[in-house]
Amino acid sequence: MNIVTTKERILQYIEYKGINISEFLRNTDIKRGFLDADKLNSAVSDVFVAKIIATYSDLNLEWLITGEGQMLKENNGQPDDLVAEPTVSFRKTVDPIKDFQKIPLFNSMATMGLLPKSNGDFDDEFIVDYLSVPNLPSVDGALYATGDSMYPLLKAGDIVAFKKVDVDINNIFFGEIYILSIFIDDHSTYKTIKFLQKSEKGETYVRLVSQNQHHQDKDIPLNKIAAMALVRASIRIHN
């Protein structure tokens, strides 16, 4: 069986767009050699996927990662109001349900764009669309899930709506799903989506738990979390 890789699908998209590889790499700020013939079978990291989707908004993320569905979004990448019914759940929070709200959808580069600007606003350049979702608690925004650590509960391409919360042990609803921005070093962070559980190491730690059993649980110090947000709804588009 001839399995088409993510990089081969990228080449299909480049050919469809009528651009050359050098232009694609320059536009996405990806280094030379990424699409060399001898590297087409290698995996594409979430960071590179985020760069590609941020640059080419008409590209269907699910098709890029899995090969399922159409190459292009149905609206051809143009902003449009999407209406979705959130899944009913047993809430642990008591804030009121909003009959209707318009939610900014951020590209993956915004990541913790949970990291808003100092005035509390988000950078408009990261907004790729808006979602119109009825009967949902207040949320700050939504973004695309990447990776497979929460599969099958969440899969790459799903949209998760989030509410930013301060990094404080008292703000955590243990057992719920959070988007986390975690410090790698003093200057960089990475984004992940996990269940948060209490850690046996004490209140200065939390345990990150994946839905995918192939990913091990991990205890991290609370002060390693740069930003966090409670996942309040998820949206999956079926072709």
More confident residue, 121 or 190: 190
Q: How many CB atoms lie within 10 A of CB 88?
A: 7
Cis peptide bond upstream of 221, omega within 30: no
Query: pTM score, two decimals?
Result: 0.59
Phi-psi region of 175 (alpha: psi -120 to 50; beta: other; left: phi over 0): left
Ranges 62-71, 78-87, 173-182, 187-196: which has the least confidence:
78-87
SS3 call for 217: coil
In terms of C-beta distances under 8 Å and separation of at least 24 residues, what long-range contacts does 100-104 make, across chains too? Answer: 100/132, 100/133, 100/134, 101/132, 101/133, 101/136, 101/138, 101/139, 102/130, 102/131, 102/132, 103/130, 103/131, 103/132, 103/133, 103/139, 103/141, 103/142, 103/161, 104/129, 104/130, 104/141, 104/142
Share above pLDDT 90 across residues of the chain, in percent, rounded to a whole number: 31
Task: Check pLDDT > 90 for residue 176.
Answer: yes
For residue 115, the model assigns a pLDDT of 47
Contact (CB, 8 A) for 123 and 113: yes
What CATH number does the domain containing 10 carry?
Answer: 1.10.260.40
Listed in order, strand segments (DSSP E) in the chain are 81-83, 97-106, 127-137, 141-144, 159-165, 177-183, 189-198, 205-209, 218-221, 225-235
- How many structural domains compose the chain? 2
Same domain (yes/no): 118, 23: no
Same domain (yes/no): 109, 29: no
For residue 195, the model assigns a pLDDT of 95
| Helix 21-28, helix 46-55: angle, nearest 10 | 100
Task: Check pLDDT > 70 for residue 83.
Answer: no
Q: How confident is the model at residue 95 (pLDDT cuts 50, 70, 90)?
A: low
What CATH number does the domain containing 95 carry?
Answer: 2.10.109.10
Q: Dump pLDDT digits (tens) for 14-39.
A: 999 899 999 999 888 898 889 998 88
For residue 125, the model assigns a pLDDT of 54
For residue 67, the model assigns a pLDDT of 86
Same domain (yes/no): 34, 89: no
Whether residue 1 lies inside any domain: the answer is: no
Q: Region 139-156: what's the mean pLDDT?
A: 87
Task: Give dist(CA 106, CA 159) in Å, integer.
Answer: 10
For residue 120, the model assigns a pLDDT of 47
Alpha helices in the chain (DSSP H): 6-17, 21-28, 46-55, 61-66
For residue 225, the model assigns a pLDDT of 93
Whether residue 15 lies inside any domain: the answer is: yes
For residue 79, the model assigns a pLDDT of 45
For residue 80, the model assigns a pLDDT of 47
Task: Check pLDDT > 80 for residue 98.
Answer: no
Which of 85, 87, 76, 123 shows the shortest CA–CA distance to 104? 123
Identify the domain containing residue 55 by its residue range: 6-66
For residue 124, the model assigns a pLDDT of 55
For residue 207, the model assigns a pLDDT of 96
SS3 call for 188: coil
Same domain (yes/no): 97, 215: yes
From 66, 93, 108, give the residue that closes a domain.
66
Sheet holding 218-221, edge to edge: 81-83, 127-137, 97-106, 141-144, 159-165, 225-235, 177-183, 189-198, 205-209, 218-221
Same domain (yes/no): 215, 108: yes
Task: Give dist(CA 225, CA 67) in Å, integer.
Answer: 34
For residue 129, the model assigns a pLDDT of 81
Which of 234, 86, 61, 75 shows the shortest CA–CA distance to 156? 61
